[in-house]
Amino acid sequence: ENKVDGSGANFSVGQKQLICLARAVLHNAKVLCIDEATANVDHETDRLIQQTLRSAFRKSTVVTIAHRVQTIFDSDRVLVMSDGRVVEFDSPENLLADANSHFSQLVSHE
């Protein structure tokens, strides 16, 4: 049990991310925008967050901004940007099948 500072300054960035995710689950969000949701958590917490996103938001639209490619493999569609422009938009499977795609190259370098 902890006292919460007005600005949440006594929480880590990872804890704040988990609180935001919990709020989205409780509000049954139909559209969710996630910007590096797992950037400040350990691998086990990352796995649990991904599992929660897949189950709690399976009927929602989830826009994920990710630098860890494995966090978006379960997505219906992947939009790849380079220099502020869309360079690819397709299913992860189709993008991975093309060895010359930006997405495939990102995966091979990760």
Q: Which residues lie closer than 8 Å to 51 by C-beta, 6 or more apart?
A: none
**Which pTM does this prediction carry?**
0.73
* pLDDT tens digits, 50-108: 888 889 999 999 998 887 787 788 899 999 999 999 999 999 999 999 999 999 998 98
Structural domain boundaries, residue 39: 1-59
Q: Indicate whether 107 belongs to any domain.
A: no
- Domain total for the chain? 1
Q: Indicate whether 32 belongs to any domain.
A: yes
Backbone angles phi, psi at 59, to 5 degrees: -105, 15
Q: Indicate whether 91 belongs to any domain.
A: no
**pLDDT confidence of residue 77:** 94
Q: Indicate whether 9 belongs to any domain.
A: yes
Q: Indicate whether 26 belongs to any domain.
A: yes
Indicate the burial class of 15 (C-beta count within 10 angstroms; 0-12, 13-18, 19 or more): middle
The H or E element containing residue 45 is helix 43-56
**pLDDT confidence of residue 25:** 93
